[in-house]
Chains A and B, each alone.
Chain A
Amino acid sequence: MPLISSKGYLLRELLDPRAGSRRCQMANEPAGSCHNSSGVLAPGPNLAIFLHMNPKFLGYAQPEALVDGDWLQQNLSVPGVRIVESNEDVLLYDTGHIPGAVHIDWRGDLQDNTVRDYVAPEGFAEVCNKNGITPDTTVIFYGDKSNWWSCYALWAFRLFGHSKVKILDGGRDKWKADNRPLTREKPGYPRASYPVPPRRFDKKIRAFFDQTLAHAHARKPLIDVRSPREYTGELTHMPEYPQEGVLRGGHVPGARNVPWKIAANEDATFKPADELAKIYTQGLGLKPGDDIIAYCRIGERSSHTWFVLTYLLGYSNIRNYDGSWTEWGNRVRSPIAKGEQPG
C-alpha cells in the first residue's frame, strides 16, 4: 500500500496488528515507518489504516486527530474505520449523510434520559455494538453546527476510554458545501462485541459543579465559551435558540469569555494552530499543564473548545463542565458574576 498518495499526501500509519502498541510516524521520519512499543523503528504493515496529512494539520499538537474531506471521500470503506454523524438537528442524518456513516444521537444514545448523566458503561457498549464498533475501531465523527455535537460525541467516547477518535475538519457543512456525496441509504454493519468498559473516566476530562466551584474559588483557568451577551447576563438563551430553562444570566465568577466560534473559520473548519495559540495560549495566558475547565450551556459548545485545547493545542489537563450554565444558573446559592469582567 502506498504511503504517499497520488496527490502527494503524507500517509501515516495508525496501527499494525502484528506490532502491538505503536505510535505514529513522525513528520521527519521516512514515510511508512513506525515505532513498536519498544521505540524501535519498524517497517510499515501490509494492512493498516492510513490517513493523509493536510498541511494545516501538521501545526497541531495531535495532527492525526483530524481528517479532511479529500481523505475521507477517498477512504469511505477503509476497514477498521467507522464514520459517525452526530447532530443537533435530530433528523438531519435521515435527509442524507456521508456514505457508510452511522448516526449516534447525543441524547438518545449517549445520555441517560432519567438522570442528567451519560449512559452507563453497559449502555455505551451497546451503542458501539449496534454500530459495529470495537475497541480497535477508529471512529471519525462529523456533524452540523461546526462540529459541536461531533466533538461532544467524541468527548463522550473518551469518557469511556475509547481513544481512537477523530474529527472531520469542517464537519457536515463543509462536506456538503464541497459537493461531496451524501446518501439516504443506511448502512448495516455486523454487530460487534464491545467489552463493557470497567468504568467511565469522568475524573480526567469531566468537571462537576462542586469541582467547578472550587476551581473558581482557586482562580484557576475557567473558560466560558458562550456568546458575549450570554456571558454578561444580558441573554438567558443562546442567540437564535429557544430558552432552555435558565433562571439567571451571567457567568461563573472568574471565568474568561472566549466564544467557541473564535476557534472556527466561516466554513466550520478549525483555525490554524498559530491562530489558536494566539487566542488561547497568548490571549488567556494558558500554560502547559494548567488545570483548565470549559463550559457553555449544556456542554456541547465547550466540547468544541475542549477538543481544540486538547488535540489541537496539546493541553493535557482540560475538563468539560457539561452541567454548564443550565446547572449553574439554576442552582440555589451558586455565585454569579454579571457584566464584561470575569468578577
Chain B
Amino acid sequence: MATYPPNLSKIVDFFDALSGDEKRENLIAYADSAPACSPKAGERFDLEDVRKDEECTDTVGVFLRVDSATRAAHFRITLGPHVQTLTKAMTAILCKGLDGATPEQIMEVEQDFVPRIVGGQLVRVRSQTVYYILTRIRGVCRVWLDRERAAATSG
C-alpha cells in the first residue's frame, strides 16, 4: 500500500474507517473549512499560480511557501465560487494533509488515496476535479524544484 505524508496518512486512515454517510458528513465539514485555506493578510509566498483551466469550472489559485531550513511546504488555496463541493473538501484535506511535507514528497504522492477518502459512490467522471487540486499542487512543486535546480546550477 502506498505511503503518504504523515498528516495525509492520518486523514486517509480516518476516512477509511467511516461509513458512506459518515464520509459525506466529514467531507461537508472539510468543504466548509475550505475558505480558511485562503492566503492570510501579510503572508508571503515563493510561488503563486492563479488561473482558470478550460476543463475546470472556476478559477483556482495555489500559493506555495517552502521553509528554506526544513524544506517544509505550506500551501494556501483560493477557489472560485462555482467549484464543486468535493473539490472544496479536497482542497481543505490537501492543505492540511500535505502541510509540512517536502516538495519531493509531494511529487511522489500517489492519487490512489482519493477513493479511500471520498468512497466509490461519490467518485464519478464529473467529479474528477477532486484530482485537479492535487495536480495543481504538484505543478507548483515541480516549478519550485525546477527553479531550485536552476539556481543551484547557475550558482
Contacts and interface: CB of A to CB of B under 8 A. Distances in A.
Interface of A: 88-92, 94-95, 107-108, 237, 239-245
B137 interface: no
Contact of A237 (B55, B58, B85, B122): B55
What 3 A-B pairs are tightest by C-beta distance, nearest first? Answer: A91-B85, A242-B128, A89-B84
A311 to B, nearest CB: 26
Nearest to B28: A94
Nearest to A89: B84
Nearest to A240: B57
B86 A90 contact: yes
18 contacts: A89-B84, A90-B86, A91-B84, A91-B85, A91-B86, A91-B122, A92-B84, A94-B24, A94-B25, A94-B85, A95-B28, A240-B54, A241-B57, A241-B126, A242-B55, A242-B128, A242-B132, A245-B125
Contacts of B40: none
A91 B24 contact: yes
B55 A91 contact: no
B37 to A, nearest CB: 17
Contacts of A241: 55, 57, 126
A243 B54 CA distance: 11
Contacts of A243: 55
Report whether over half of chain B's contact residues are helix, strand or loop; otherwise say mixed: helix
A89 B88 CA distance: 11
B85 A92 contact: yes
Contacts of B84: 88-92
Interface residues of B, number: 24
B56 interface: yes
Contacts of B58: 240
A247 to B, nearest CB: 15
Contacts of A237: 55
Contacts of A95: 28, 31-32, 85
Nearest to B127: A90
A108 B121 contact: yes
A91 B89 contact: yes
A242 B86 CA distance: 15
A28 to B, nearest CB: 44
Contact of A89 (B55, B85, B125): B85
B91 interface: no
Contacts of B54: 239-240
Given A240-B54, A241-B55, A242-B129, A107 B31 contact: no
A156 B58 CA distance: 29
Interface string B34-53: 00000000000000000000
A229 to B, nearest CB: 10
Contact of A240 (B55, B85, B121): B55
Given A91-B27, A95-B28, 14 more contacts: A88-B126, A90-B124, A91-B84, A91-B86, A91-B89, A92-B85, A107-B124, A108-B121, A240-B55, A240-B57, A241-B57, A242-B126, A242-B128, A244-B126
A176 to B, nearest CB: 11
A242 B132 CA distance: 10
Nearest to B58: A240
Contacts of B55: 237, 240-243
Contacts of A88: 84, 126
Contacts of A240: 54-58
Contacts of B85: 89-92, 94-95
